Amino acid sequence: MRHSLKTAVFLLSAWLTLSCSAGNVHTLEGRVTGIADGDTLYVLDASRKSHKIRLLGIDAPERGQAYGERSKQSLAKLAYRQQVSVDWQGRDTYGRILGRVRVAAADCRQGSCPKTLDANLEQVRLGLAWWNRKFADSQLPGDAHLYAAAERQARKAGAGLWADPDPVPPWRWRRQNPRQD
């Protein structure tokens, strides 16, 4: 009896969490028109409005940082000029949409392929971005677990920036290299 009550409470709280989170998720459809770096891109929607998108849950090396250009090139290969769906819940302090960007798989040969490839997760999987555990609570349901596992695998395989024995995370690099605008 006690076990089934705990299970029921767990299932109810999981359902409420997913229901509340899913209710606040918006989807933006559009075409990627530009890549700023390995975790930021621009999407033009059907009404021709441009949106700056910060890939939620990841932090890619900065321009001028080791692997910064490779990370940007990787995101361009995944998403530039592609139709995308952006699942988002909010904006950051700079007004950028914080979202998960979904694209069609690269091997899709038809014009209307489903957008099933999570570009954010792919950047982490390729070792060209860190999973940003600081913002795990703001990720969409289930994403934090997937991104953490992808980073562990990339580290283990020495993929991308993990080929470096001690890669500098972008948040530390930014503190050491303040912008001089």
Kindly report the backbone phi and psi dihedral angles of residue 140, in degrees, each rounded to the nearest multiple of 5, phi listed first.
-70, 155
48 part of the active site: no
Q: Which of 54, 100, 102, 125 is catalytic?
A: 54
39 touches 59 (CB < 8 A): yes
- Transcribe 154-180 into DSSP letters: HHHHT-GGGGSSSPPPHHHHHHHS---
Q: Following CA atoms 145, 146, 152, 154 in sequence, which dihedral angle do they give, to the nearest 10 degrees? A: -160
62 part of the active site: yes
**Of 160, 67, 145, 78, which Cα lies nearest the Cα of 115?**
78
Integer Cα distance of 4 and 146 in angstroms: 28
54 part of the active site: yes
Q: Which of 31, 69, 70, 96 is catalytic?
A: 96
53 touches 97 (CB < 8 A): yes
As annotated, the active-site residues are 54, 62, 96
